[in-house]
Amino acid sequence: MNEINEKLTVYYWLDGYWITDKEEAELMDSINAFGSLHQVLELPQGADIDKAVKQRLEVAA
């Protein structure tokens, strides 16, 4: 239970923009708002989201 609470789900796009609201992410995908479909990243609470997203994008690149 505690483990679940400690996780933070981040929804990010390939242009680096991210949000934490899943419904908003799906809504944006439904109209092709940001040019790609969102990806999901789970991070510990308090993690540096910008840095984590950037790392994911760089590794994938």
Partner 1 sequence: MTVKDTQLDLMHRKLEQHQAHEQRGLLLLKLGFLLTFLLYLLFNQHLYLGDALSWSAYFKDAASIFGFVFTVAIVVLMALFLSWVKHHAYLHFGFFGSVALVVSTVIGFALFAEFFSSSANQDVKASVLVERNSAYQATLNTESTPASAMNTGLITSIANAEQKLARCEANLKLGKEKHCDGDRAKVNALKSSEQSANHAQAQANIERDKLKYARQDELKAQSYNPVILTLARVLAGESGDYKDYLKTAVVLITLFVAVCFEILHHFLSKSHGASMAAIEDLELALAKYSEQPEPVLPSALATVQPITEPTKQPMGFGFPSTRPNTAQGASKPVLFKYQAQGEPETKAHHPIGFTFPTVAKSTLPKPSLGTQEEQLSLPDFGSFKARRDTFASPALSEAETIADEPRIDPVHGLMDDKPRIDPVHGVSEGVSLYPAWVQAVNQGLCKPSVDATRAWIQKCIAPTMTGSKTNDLKRIDLMRKAFFSRAMKEGLMQENPNYRNGGKKYLWIRG
* Residues within the interface to partner 1 (CB under 8 A): 4, 7, 9, 14-19, 22-42, 48-51, 53-54, 56-57, 59-61
Give the closest residue to 24 by CA, choosing from 42, 38, 35. 38
Distance in Å, CB of 14 to partner 1, minimum:
5
Q: How far is CA 31 from CA 2, 12, 13, 36, 49, in A?
A: 35, 16, 14, 10, 25
Nearer to partner 1, 46 or 61 (CB): 61
Nearer to partner 1, 45 or 61 (CB): 61
